[in-house]
Structure 1
């Protein structure tokens, strides 16, 4: 037990000493490295350290000779005697990259604006094309809904004069007999089909309203035809009724006149023969 406690007392100071020793970082301040950093970034081209030292005209600095001098690699001398290759000089590669990056950023913003515009336009076009939004269209709500409601509420397959909105059953039966109802049924089926297509199919907004307008014109023509058939058949039935009454009265008058005339002749000549 005492031995473990002693080991702990020795270990703790050693741990703190090691942590303090490793925590200290020595700062290296080499003038040649600093000059290289300045040269390679943006400050100026030159300041090639270490500098040469001459004694009686002879370069005696061994460090310079091994880095830049005759003992140095050929690539070091080509670098020192070559062109300014600072990446951050006014026309340096990094400056060109940054300029190009800024240009690409602006182009990306323009493309994003165009894409957003196209997206918004596509959403609007989709809203105009889709049949799911036709009931919310302002022009439909303000005009065509009211004008086409009678067509929508008209029975698909009318079976009596009330559903056909005729005057009476005799007119309906007469139209049924002369083919007027069959003609109107075909017209009604076409109008119903066009109305359904204009409300359920996906199409451009302009084309949809053209179909609304064509359907509305067709519905007005249908109503005019229906009224014309109704009036003509009613007039026909009235004329037929009047003609029947007149014929009955004429036949009755002629019949009475013939009997009277025969009696008169018989009364006048019954003693002469």
Structure 2
């Protein structure tokens, strides 16, 4: 009985040893290498046809699949599904990169256009900060009392009485309102700068006209005062050298005509 048990145990051990032994078949190995990474080599399709194609194993194996050796079925082959998938993934990656670049360009363009058109950025425009802000500062911070500084009280009364002072205030207020409209409107930067320049030219012309009217008022008051003194005989008429009356001029003309 013990001998039978010993024989059975030995048989089990032998079977287990053979069962755990790796199966090494060159046909399976070739197929594994062929499908994974090695070249699709027709010479390694075993069993081969043998001498004059008389190998029966060849016909039993490949007679049912005559086109199999001709088609490269490697997943990583030149036209394999894995290669196609990788190529498709690379193409999709390139497309995604192109779309991202395009979207970034659109975003940058939109930001640039927004900064060019939006009135929010008009105050920080470099040209406004460096030039026009300083040129328009007297207009934006205009004080009515400062307009009449540097002149006499008579000149102030004359400018106010004749409406010149009010005229200047009205024109300056109109230019200031148009300037604030240009700053607060949605315009492209070029149109806004052109509007600044046109308003600056108008404001400079208005200042020149205002200064001229102030000078004229001084001269007019001086002439009016002199004329008033002459009428009231407060200031006698001084005859310069060579002065002639109208009668003397007429006599000279008649004398020349008689000759």
* Residues 59-208 of structure 1 aligned to structure 2 (within 5 Å): 59=56, 65=60, 69=63, 77=65, 80=68, 83-155=71-143, 158=144, 162-165=145-148, 167-208=151-192
State the partner residue of 1:74. Answer: none
Matched-pair contact (CA < 8 Å) for 1:88–1:95? yes
Query: Structure 1 residue aligned with 2:39, among 20, 25, 44?
Result: 44
The answer on whether the counterparts of 1:175 and 1:233 sit within 8 Å (CA) in structure 2 is yes
Matched, 1:243 2:246: no
What is the DSSP-based 3-state SS (H/G/I as helix, E as strand, rest coil) of the residue aligned with 2:129? helix
- Separation in 2, partners of 1:81, 1:34: 16
> Which runs of 5 or more residues in structure 2 are unaligned?
1-19, 238-259
Q: Secondary structure at the match of 1:164?
A: helix
Q: Secondary structure at the match of 2:148?
A: coil
Distance 1:28 1:106, change over 3 A: farther
Partner SS state of residue 249, structure 1: coil
Q: CA deviation at 1:182?
A: 4.6
1:213 aligns to what? Answer: 197
Seen in structure 2, the aligned counterparts of structure 1 residues 189 and 34 have a Cα distance that, compared at 3 Å, is: farther
Q: Is the 8 A contact 1:130 1:203 kept in 2?
A: yes
- Cα distance change of structure 1 residues 205 and 27 upon mapping to structure 2, 3 Å threshold: farther
- Compared with structure 1, are the counterparts of its residues 27 and 131 closer, same or farther at alpha carbon in structure 2 (3 Å cutoff)? farther
Larger RCO: Structure 1 or Structure 2 (Cα < 8 Å, ≥ 6 residues apart)?
Answer: 2
Deviation at 1:228, TM superposition (A): 1.6
The 8 Å contact of residues 48 and 80 in structure 1, kept in 2 or not, is answered as no
Gap change, CA 1:105 and 1:28, over 3 Å in 2: farther
1:133-182 CA distance string (max 9 Å, x none): 33433333322222221111114xx4xxx343362454444344444345
- Would the alpha carbon gap of residues 33 and 206 (structure 1) be closer, same or farther in structure 2, given more than 3 Å must change? farther
Q: Which runs of 5+ in 1 are unaligned?
A: 1-25, 71-76, 254-273
Shift of 1:223: 0.8
**TM-score, normalising length from structure 2?**
0.62
Instruction: Report if aligned partners of 1:148, 1:216 keep a CA contact under 8 Å in 2.
Output: yes
Are 1:53 and 1:60, in contact at CA under 8 Å, matched by a contact in 2?
no
**Contact persistence 1:42–1:86 (CA under 8 A):** yes
